[in-house]
Homo-oligomer: A and B are copies of this chain.
Amino acid sequence: MVSNTDSSEALAQRLSDSGLRSTPQREVIYSVLLKKRDHPTAEDVFARAKPEMPMISLATVYNCLETLVQCDLVRAVNFERGPTRYCPNLRPHAHFHDEATGATHDIELPPGMLDQVKAVLPPHFDATSVEIIFRGKAPSKA
């Protein structure tokens, strides 16, 4: 189990590595993402942060999420044109979008899978990232 202070120290470290400050808002938002990893939207994060920090604004939530994405502590995930969702899972993984429930599941990828997929690229296509999105029906209990 990762303690609260561990993760906020990790956060502070990453932020200062990027020349940014650690702030109460950034800490609350990162902790919200770590606490419930269900790929919340910015509005979801806003709602979850408010009880802990009633004066926080939606603009700040967007700013902080963007900052966390820039620091590579969080991934932004998009399905079609729905609201962006945020994911603190840094391991290489794909996303499964359950069309019945709207839920998003992480699909861990075996090592080498991403390279295997990149191998389909013709010569001189140089990919900095590969994203895999599944859509369908997920098991009820997952």
Contacts and interface: CB of A to CB of B under 8 A. Distances in A.
A136 B129 contact: yes
Interface of A: 76, 78, 80-81, 84, 94, 96, 99, 105, 107-110, 113, 116-118, 120-139, 142
20 contacts: A81-B84, A94-B120, A96-B125, A107-B121, A110-B120, A113-B117, A113-B120, A116-B116, A121-B134, A122-B139, A122-B142, A124-B138, A125-B136, A128-B136, A129-B134, A129-B135, A130-B133, A131-B132, A131-B133, A131-B134
B128 A135 contact: yes
B78 A127 contact: no
A125 B139 contact: yes
Contacts of A78: 78, 80-81
A4 to B, nearest CB: 30
Contacts of A139: 122-125
